[in-house]
A and B are shown apart, each in its own frame.
Chain A
């Protein structure tokens, strides 16, 4: 672990929307096969950080970033083929987007982009990803139904299945459980713990306890500043930054 190259490394990363600074000078590393939590109050720049990794700034008006952001040891700006970068990274955002395609086609979308054509192979991928997203049992009889007509929580899990179908080496989860009921959330959390073997997971969450259950290390963002990065338990027990302590203990604001 000590010698491994970090899967994600940011050095002095700053993000701006027009004149507004969303993140100022953050530096930290995310190691392969770890679950890296990010917590912090609203507007602290958590989502903006995820957007940089996937180069979403290329289609977000006004968004710019400076400093270094590396994925797999390579600066994200040096990827000449952004599509390859994005296929490597699965993302799940808080507002679920079921594409107006069938459930099946939603999950088969990325594999097809990657050139998978065989029906049997696609079937297998679709089933595996839907199972991992804890959605298979609910939709297995209506794979041909429109993905955009599923319930909110189901669409969120569909989004997770879609992200997994890319077979990403990095999975970015932004408040994935916001629309998902607690029981299903627990099932997905169990899956995430298994997925750790295969990929690196960055978990942005508003639920401090979720970070505590899942994350190996956790960063605390506050008003555009990365205040601390520490093993998650240290936030609760050790001598964490007092602002982080206040936040996790609910004394914030």
Chain B
């Protein structure tokens, strides 16, 4: 009586097929990542050493290390995030928790989503006009980080808003019904339940910011500048641009050097992500969210 009907069997077979298809797609996705890492390690591993990390490039960038680029990228990323994360989260909170649902809000949301899709070279030109020239920062770490911040801002807003919107409306209404203000509701219920989503968005932005070349090329990153920056008004080398330069612009670079630079860049992004993830875990643990 409970034997599978032909219909059941067909459904089961289809279920199996679909699952295998999706699995294959996932494998297809993972494969290139592993290949890239494999090639980088195989070809660039021999370039890695403490000296590579902690000395300046020498011999017209065909030898020596990449310390100025490493330090420069850290400056750029940290300043960009210090600017864009607070502003982005505040704006997302306003749009998601306070703004009335009218045409203006919807227009702003649409504009932000479109802004998030603007190519980085366009942000670069904006950065030159706004920060280098108009605000008079010159080509400097400050101008480059602000340009990066402007580029990341819409993405931070969109991902934060998404995280906020994932908190069920019923939680908010329950709080409001007890006489909580919007801000009390945000602080006690909305933010605690969206913070990991918000941080995930920020983490993704860290990687993107560290890897972008176009926005910093005209605004503050130097081709070759074998000193550590002393202030935010200095120019600086940066990992992404340095990789581009040693890979394509300088003759007689030993084979393993560009791969070594790429490996350090990836390692750096991973390290930054690891720190953010640890922070996220710590936050959760602390509040038992």
Contacts and interface: CB of A to CB of B under 8 A. Distances in A.
A161 to B, nearest CB: 12
Instruction: Provide the main secondary structure of the chain A interface.
Output: helix
A83 B174 contact: no
User: Which of B170, B174, B175, B180 has most A Cβ within 10 Å?
Assistant: B174
A253 to B, nearest CB: 31
A101 B188 contact: yes
A108 to B, nearest CB: 11
Across the A-B interface, the 5 shortest Cβ-Cβ residue pairs: A87-B179, A86-B179, A97-B174, A83-B179, A110-B178
27 contacts: A56-B177, A59-B172, A59-B173, A61-B101, A86-B177, A86-B179, A87-B179, A91-B177, A95-B170, A97-B174, A99-B174, A99-B175, A99-B189, A100-B189, A100-B192, A100-B193, A101-B189, A102-B288, A109-B188, A110-B178, A110-B179, A113-B178, A113-B179, A113-B180, A159-B174, A166-B178, A166-B179
B184 A113 contact: yes
A85 B179 CA distance: 7
Given A86-B179, A97-B170, 9 more contacts: A59-B176, A83-B179, A83-B181, A84-B179, A99-B171, A100-B171, A101-B189, A109-B188, A144-B288
Contacts of B172: 59
A48 interface: no
A162 B188 contact: no
Instruction: Provide the main secondary structure of the chain B interface.
Output: helix
Contacts of B192: 100
A91 B173 CA distance: 11
Interface in A59-90: 59, 61, 83-87
User: Which of A56, A101, A102, A163 has most B Cβ within 10 Å?
Assistant: A101
B279 interface: no
B289 interface: yes
A54 interface: yes
A96 to B, nearest CB: 9
B189 A86 contact: no
A167 to B, nearest CB: 11
Contacts of A100: 171, 189, 192-193, 289
Interface in A140-163: 144, 159, 162-163
